[in-house]
Amino acid sequence: MRKFAMSLVASFVALALIGCNISLEGPTREQAPFTTPVPIQPGWTPPASDSGMALPNIADVVPRITPFVVSIQTEAIAYDVFLRPFPEEGAGSGIIIDPNGYVLTNNHVVQDATRVTVTLGDGRTFEAAEVRRDPLTDIAVVKINAQGLPAAKLGDSRKLRVGDWVIAVGNALALEGGPTVTKGIVSYLGRSIQENSTVLYDLIQTDAPINPGNSGGPLVNMAGEVVGINTAIAGEAQNIGFALAITPAMPIVQSLINKGFVTRPFLGITMQTVNATVARQNNLPVDRGVLVTTVQRGSPADKAGLKPGDVIIRFSGADVVTVSALRQAILSHQTGEDVEIVFHRGSTQSTVRATLGESGPPQ
């Protein structure tokens, strides 16, 4: 790094000398005599500085946040290299969203857990009575048998702007004594990231430090309202974290509480992204699109006439070249909506219409 900096400085000096055509000799008689320039605006003064501006006082917001932030401890069964089972512990965070004991968190915090324990800000501990999860959106709801709990006030994440101040709160590194509070700004809105095999959409990017154990905790605006659910960090990058936006998350949460699962538009196929290798292996006529690998009997895809081996290239007027793109296109529609699907079957391109169904409980 030091070597690079030294080279950069040397290059800059060289460029400055060349660009300015600097002469190291003294003035000569051939040079024009110095003349005083005419002022453009003699009475001009610099703009006044606003010395009264102050950063928001985060200390005033924190007491309104911490009562509804909980820590979550999990126990699961893991296996060593000899496939011998052993207990494994995990830690995360959660948000009390209802006084009657509903706690919002991430799916990956509680997934595969054989036991989930919730510790409130006042030190009381409850074992989860029920856990309801939606892996597709990385959202989960934990129910504990408690009443009269301090519940979060939810904000409207659609009103966020890049540059808005935000606060992240959670059980960072499972440190004892209470939640960790960090601050930052909204760095970007509407990010998409891939977490294992799942693509998460509509994320808030923030530079508020988020650490292991923060998952499931709140991202809060300066009014003390929850605007996001802290979910992921960008590997080794500095100050790049992601939170699920709270507004599009709440219909998922409501469905988990009311039904126990989430219903979505349903086409009824399994699929694979087509690239040059997949096209060659399956003798496909195109090397871009989504290959239909199976069709569920009686599904909307089956009723529309789709078959294994078809390659979908357009869905409802938009090109689709990946499984993720097609899945998101399906989810952007409503159950019962009629959609147009363009696909290749062999060398023939065809168009069909399908009426999207509704997914049922997970099997």
pLDDT surpassing 80 at residue 220? yes
pLDDT surpassing 60 at residue 277? yes
Task: Say how many C-beta atoms besides its own lie within 10 A of residue 344's C-beta.
Answer: 19
Determine which one of 138, 157, 310, 344 is catalytic.
138
pLDDT surpassing 70 at residue 319? yes
Level-2 CATH architecture, domain 157-258: Beta Barrel (2.40)
Domains 60-143 and 157-258 belong to one CATH topology: yes
Residue 138 annotated to the active site:
yes
pLDDT surpassing 90 at residue 176? no
Q: What is the pLDDT of residue 359?
A: 87
Its pTM surpasses 0.85: no
pLDDT, tens only, 90-140: 999 999 999 999 999 999 999 999 999 999 999 999 999 999 999 989 999
Residue 344 annotated to the active site:
no
pLDDT surpassing 90 at residue 342? yes
pLDDT, tens only, 298-307: 999 999 999 9
Q: What are the contacts of 61-66 at 24+ separation with CB within 8 A?
A: 61/167, 61/220, 61/222, 61/223, 61/224, 62/167, 62/169, 62/181, 64/224, 65/167, 65/169, 65/181, 65/218, 65/220, 65/224, 66/121, 66/169, 66/178, 66/179, 66/181
Quickly name the fold that domain 265-358 has. Answer: Pdz3 Domain (2.30.42)
Q: Mean pLDDT over all residues of the chain?
A: 86
Three-state SS at 156? coil
pLDDT, tens only, 286-298: 999 999 999 999 9
Determine which one of 215, 255, 310, 344 is catalytic.
215
Quickly name the fold that domain 60-143 has. Answer: Thrombin, subunit H (2.40.10)
Q: What is the DSSP letter of 123?
A: S
pLDDT surpassing 80 at residue 361? no
pLDDT band at 51 (very low <50, low <70, confident <90, very high): low
| Rounded-to-integer distance, Cα 159 and Cα 247, Å | 10
Residue 215 annotated to the active site:
yes
Determine which one of 71, 93, 108, 310 is catalytic.
108
pLDDT band at 316 (very low <50, low <70, confident <90, very high): very high
pLDDT surpassing 60 at residue 26? no
Q: What is the pLDDT of residue 23?
A: 39
The domain locations on the chain are 60-143, 157-258, 265-358
pLDDT surpassing 50 at residue 180? yes
Q: What is the pLDDT of residue 12?
A: 34
Closest CA to 303 of 314, 292, 313, 295: 295
